[in-house]
Amino acid sequence: MNSEVPASDPMHRADLPDGVKHVLVVDDSRAQRRILSSSLKRWGYHVTEADSGEAALAICQQDTPDLILSDWMMPGMSGLDFCKAFRALSDETYSYFILLTSKSETDDIAEGLDAGADDFLTKPVNPPELRARLSAGQRIIEMQQELTLKNRVIKETLVELQRLYDSLDSDLVQAKQLQQSLIREREKTFDGGDLALLLQSSGHVGGDLVGFFPASDGHLGLFAIDVSGHGISSALMTARLAGYLSATAPDQNIALEKTDTGYRSRAPRDAIAILNQLVLDEMETEHYFTMMLADIDMETGRVVIGQAGHPHPVVQRADGTLEQDGTGGFPVGLMPNVSFSQFEIQLSPGDRLLILSDGVTECPDTKGALLEEEGLEKILNDLQSVKGPALFTEILAAMTKLSGLTEFPDDVSGLLFEFHGAGQAK
Query: Who's near 24: CB < 8 A, 6+ residues apart?
Result: 47, 48, 49, 50, 56, 59, 60, 65, 67, 68, 69, 70
Domain region containing 35: 13-151
The reply to whether 335 and 394 lie within a common domain is yes
Q: Is residue 2 part of a domain?
A: no
Q: Is residue 191 part of a domain?
A: yes
Q: Which of 106, 129, 151 is the last residue of a domain?
A: 151
Query: According to the model, what pLDDT value does residue 171 have?
Result: 62
Q: Whole-angstrom Cα distance, residue 112 to residue 119?
A: 9
**CB–CB of 245/253 below 8 Å?**
yes
The reply to whether 264 and 389 lie within a common domain is yes
The reply to whether 145 and 283 lie within a common domain is no
Q: Whole-angstrom Cα distance, residue 402 to residue 396?
A: 10
Query: According to the model, what pLDDT value does residue 4 have?
Result: 45
Q: At what angle do helices 53-62 and 79-88 cross, to 10 degrees?
A: 20
Q: Whole-angstrom Cα distance, residue 4 to residue 120?
A: 23
Query: According to the model, what pLDDT value does residue 5 have?
Result: 42
Q: Is residue 169 part of a domain?
A: no
Query: According to the model, what pLDDT value does residue 181 have?
Result: 67
The reply to whether 147 and 198 lie within a common domain is no
Q: Whole-angstrom Cα distance, residue 355 to residue 416?
A: 7
Nearest to 231 by CA among 253, 208, 207: 207
Q: Whole-angstrom Cα distance, residue 352 to residue 346?
A: 10
Query: According to the model, what pLDDT value does residue 11 have?
Result: 45
Alpha helices in 16-126 (DSSP H): 30-42, 53-62, 79-88, 106-115
Cis before 409? omega within 30: no
* pLDDT block averages, 10 residues each, the chain of length 426: 41 49 93 92 93 94 92 92 89 84 72 87 88 88 85 90 77 62 82 93 80 90 91 83 90 92 93 95 88 96 97 96 94 93 96 96 94 95 95 96 90 95 61
Can you give the CATH number for the domain in which 105 is found? 3.40.50.2300
Q: What is the pTM of this model?
A: 0.64
Q: Is residue 173 part of a domain?
A: no
Number of domains within the chain: 2
Nearest to 226 by CA among 130, 295, 310, 119: 310
Q: Whole-angstrom Cα distance, residue 299 to residue 124?
A: 109
Q: Estimate the share of the chain in helix, then strand, then coil, as percent rounded to the nearest 5.
A: 40, 25, 40
